[in-house]
Structure 1
Amino acid sequence: MFSREHLLNELQEEFPLVKDWLLYIRDNSEDTQWVQQLIEDSPKTFEQCVLYLSEGIRLLPTRPVRLSVFSQIITLDANAFLPTTSLGKLWLHVLAETKRVHNNQPIELPKTRKEINTLLKDHHLHREDITDSVTVVNLFAEISSGYHPMWEAAVHSQSVMTVPLRECVKLSAVYPAHEQPIVWVVDNAEVFSRIVDRVPALPMICTQEEWSCSAGEIFDRLIANGAELRFVGDLTPKGIVRAEELLLRYPDRTRTWQMDVETYLKAKDDTTDLTEEDYALLDKHHVDYLACLKDEVRDQGHPGYLITVVDELIKQLNHYYRK
């Protein structure tokens, strides 16, 4: 006679990589009824799914991989891990389990497409590799056969390129097209465009207030090739936190620029007040040399936007990057 309890106990012994998830399933909570039904409908199918789930956890990538490629490796079926399939839904449930801080927390299965994509992205998996992209200017790149002709042509014509993740992962090296080994990471698209207009030789990356995997791939290759990053972000709680995130990721090769009290007081927008969420962000992360800026923003209670002082920024950059 079939025993769900006995099956789950056996699977825990056989597949220790998903043991915590199986323990959660064994508790038979209300939010796992759909899993219980899968077990009841076909114990053998569920057992095969657990094998694939365990292999998926064992082979989780450390670099971006398309979900279909990952699925092909694990199951020999490129569509097996699609979120619309039973295995795909179980896979999301397992990934969601890895995000829990405490075992007594419920597993929150992502519901929207955005939530699903975010959960997959957190584990270096992507349903596609076109929409995730990064915008760059004045950067050379190499592939296994040598200089990348598209990046080289863009440098010579001082053209801005938006490069999808699909192309970023093919690169073996990236470096600035300038004698100074510095690349400027500009977090505001309008500021980026204004700087490109008047400092066309500046090696820059535009992140647009979002850490795309494409940007991460470019950052990693720049750092590996000896470049330094200069983060230029708005003087807002969100901008400061993003600066700290980059500083913590590459502590020895990253600095901020013009993110100080003096610039903040010039860029401050007195017509806009900080929200409760903004104040909470100011308590997030800890990088000592941004502490004074955080304190000033907290005391003043207003955000600061670099577009207000962009002409001054351009004047300083032009001093070092003349045509």
Structure 2
Amino acid sequence: MLDEALAYFRGKSGFRRLFPLFRKKMESLGRVGGSVDITDFKDAELEEIAAFFGSTKEVLLQKKKIYLLRFEKKLGETRFAGVDVWALLEGYFDEKIVSKKESHEQKRAMEERALERWKGQYPALAFWFDYLRARSPDTHWVYRLLENGRLAALLPVIHDAVRNLPEEPIRLPVFSQKVSGDPHAFDMNHDAGKLLMHILQVKSGLPAVNGSEEATRLLESFYILRDDITNDVSVANLLADVGENVHPLWQAAVDTRSVLNIPLRELQRVSAVYPITAGRVWIVENSGVYSSLLDAVPDAPLICTRGQFKLAALKLMDMLVDAGVTLFYAGDIDPEGVAMADRLLARYPRHAQLWRMDIASYHKSLSDNHMEEERMAKLLNVTNEALLPVIRDMQEKRKAGYQEGLLSLLAEDLRQGLGENK
């Protein structure tokens, strides 16, 4: 009987138009039900459908819709009585009709099996597969790669990259060549590059990376360099050794009281860095404040990071700490400056100290700049106890404090610090 029904409906152009709509509705609902629109059907198609219902095309057009349950009832009144509508449609299309819910569940199960299988196959990525299971919004694009098979193809080279993350700075194209044989494999516009960035972001515990600058900083935190020339740091009154000798360029800068902008490339060529006056180096991130302090205290060993810590600044500070130097950091007393201070204290717990970032300094530097909730939220990630008092005050006042209001005090601190060292 099913074969007879299929032969009948396959011979009618109206049902060749109607049944795909029925199928779509059944997939959506997961059952036989609902209705489909027929207002754009051709006259010949409507006439064939109307004949099945024992009606006219004018009546069908007046109703504008055909209800699937009405079709099911009418089918039971014909010589095809007993034929199930779901079975009829599956036979018509010669494939199983799966509801969207069932399809989604099957797809989800397939993805879970793949992640579990890959977790054993690529152990260095196990933490990332666990993260993908949470299906946060930043993973949706990864699941699209999984669905089209692209992810499976890229996992071997991604796994090799994570297993061989460098312990010393290396340029991104060189790292790509070393891992994959292709210097462009991990370019940011390639799927492999995007996946590596996502994995490193998850590994670091940082929020989603936005923009080229954040991507550069993330790679640098794993010693992968997109650029070792513009990745630099400003120094004054510091000396560097090459082997057993003082680097002549650094010496000349000290002799002439000049500021050096040192690229990461050049930092990697020196064996040690130290201040001209033993024991202390002061750090600011604002170039205007930095220049003003040097005007006031030309002999001060000062570093300027010019914004967030780049790898060049971190490497320089690592070398200073290796030389037994204490680092004094002063930043704007706002969420960004406090977060930088928190990072520095965490990185150098025995060698870094806050410089004019207390409550009194905050009140003296206070501006009318009201801080929005998005910026204030950054303070929730700061954990160092030395910063908590000023954070509580910031949360109450919701205004930023800027170093420009502390210049005279900062300069006096430098004079006193240099005097103590003499």
TM class, shorter-chain normalised?
0.7 to 0.9
Shift of 1:277: 3.2
| 8 Å contact kept, 1:199–1:321 | no
Q: Of the candidates 323, 326, 332, which is equivalent to residue 225 of structure 1?
A: 323
Q: Of the candidates 383, 392, 403, which is equivalent to residue 286 of structure 1?
A: 383
Distance in 2, matches of 1:142 and 1:54, equals: 39
Distance in 2, matches of 1:50 and 1:201, equals: 54
Does residue 296 (structure 1) correspond to residue 401 (structure 2)? The answer is no
Does residue 317 (structure 1) correspond to residue 414 (structure 2)? The answer is yes
Shift of 1:7: 9.0
Change (3 A) 1:100 1:321: closer
Distance in 2, matches of 1:200 and 1:276, equals: 40
Change (3 A) 1:78 1:308: same
| 8 Å contact kept, 1:144–1:172 | yes
Q: Of the candidates 250, 275, 285, which is equivalent to residue 176 of structure 1?
A: 275
Change (3 A) 1:138 1:301: same
Within a 5 Å distance, the mapping from 1:88-127 to structure 2 comes to: 88-96=193-201, 98=203, 112-114=211-213, 116-127=215-226
Aligned position for 2:122: 15
Distance in 1, matches of 2:358 and 2:400, equals: 13
Alignment RMSD: 3.3
Distance in 2, matches of 1:200 and 1:125, equals: 35
Distance in 2, matches of 1:260 and 1:111, equals: 31
Q: 1:123-146, CA deviations, whole angstroms, 9 ceiling, x for partnerless residues?
A: 321222122211111111123463
More helix by share: 2
Within a 5 Å distance, the mapping from 1:203-282 to structure 2 comes to: 203-269=301-367, 271-282=368-379
TM-score in terms of structure 1 length: 0.80
Aligned position for 1:195: 293
Aligned position for 1:104: none
Aligned position for 2:159: 54
Does residue 66 (structure 1) correspond to residue 171 (structure 2)? The answer is yes
Distance in 1, matches of 2:210 and 2:309, equals: 22
Matched pairs, number: 305
Change (3 A) 1:278 1:51: closer
Shift of 1:243: 1.6
Amino acid in structure 2 at the alignment position of 1:16: P
Distance in 1, matches of 2:354 and 2:341, equals: 7
Rg larger for: 2
Q: Which moved more, 1:112-121 or 1:151-160?
A: 112-121
Q: 1:99-122, CA deviations, whole angstroms, 9 ceiling, x for partnerless residues?
A: 579xxxxx97x6754454344234
Shift of 1:166: 1.6
Change (3 A) 1:134 1:273: same
TM-score in terms of structure 2 length: 0.63
Q: Match of 1:175, SS?
A: strand
| 8 Å contact kept, 1:53–1:94 | no
Amino acid in structure 2 at the alignment position of 1:73: K
User: Any gaps of 5 or more consecutive residues in structure 2?
Assistant: 1-109
User: Any gaps of 5 or more consecutive residues in structure 1?
Assistant: 102-106
| 8 Å contact kept, 1:273–1:301 | yes
Q: Match of 1:141, SS?
A: strand
Shift of 1:289: 2.9
Q: 1:150-207, CA deviations, whole angstroms, 9 ceiling, x for partnerless residues?
A: 11211111110111122222332111111x3100011222111111112011001112
Shift of 1:301: 3.5
| 8 Å contact kept, 1:139–1:175 | yes
Q: 1:247-302, CA deviations, whole angstroms, 9 ceiling, x for partnerless residues?
A: 12111111112222222222222x32232234333433233333332233333343
Question: Higher relative contact order by CA 8 Å / sep ≥ 6: 1 or 2?
Answer: 1
